[in-house]
Structures are given as structure tokens and as C-alpha cells.
Amino acid sequence: MATRIAANRATRAVSFLFQLPSLLRLYWRLLADRRVPLWPKAVLVGAVVYVASPVDLIPDLMPVVGQLDDLTLLVLVGRAFLWWCPADVVTEHMRALRLRLPA
């Protein structure tokens, strides 16, 4: 049972990595779309600026943990951004990119 769960997680991770370029294009299209409210865009841009800035909650000098907080923030804010955008707008852009997101 544990092996099956681990294999499923690994499969989902590989699938996510293959879809990453399309996801970035989706985020870019949603950022440029005027139908998406300003505040989700500001949260996403703020998270990217935080990750790129030298100021950090957990310093990147700490091995693994320093980068893990940045990655966690980007994943959580990226998922929330898609959730906060109007569903019909997200669906429209996903169809244009031929992108299917896992649940």
C-alpha cells in the first residue's frame, strides 16, 4: 500500500514537471487578462518578488530548508491564484493551451 502511494506521488510530480512550461504560460495569460481581478495578480507577483528578493523568512543558506520554504510558497500561491481567478477565464485559457490540471 505504501509503495503504491509513493509511486502515485512520484507519477504526479513527474507529470507536474512536464506541465510546468504550460502552467507558466497559463499564469502569464491570466496575469495579462483584464477579467482577472487585481488582488490575485498582486498576491502572485508579491510571492514571486518575495522568492527573488534577498530578504527571506528562512535564509537560503540553510541547506534544503531555505529553498523548501520558497518552493512551498510558490506552489501554494500558484494554486490559490488559479482558484481565485474566475473559473470560466481559467478554463478558456486552459483550453487555448490544451492544458489539463490534475485535481
CB 40 within 8 A of CB 87: no
Q: From 81, 86, 77, 76, select the one nearest 36 (Cα to Cα).
A: 86
Rounded to whole angstroms, the Cα distance separating 45 from 50 reads: 9
Q: Tell me the pLDDT of the chain (103 aa) as tens digits.
A: 667 666 677 787 787 778 889 899 999 999 999 999 999 999 999 999 988 888 777 776 777 777 788 888 999 999 999 999 999 999 999 999 988 765 5
- pTM, to two decimals: 0.77
How far, rounded to the nearest angstrom, does the alpha carbon of residue 35 sit from its chain's CA centroid?
A: 20
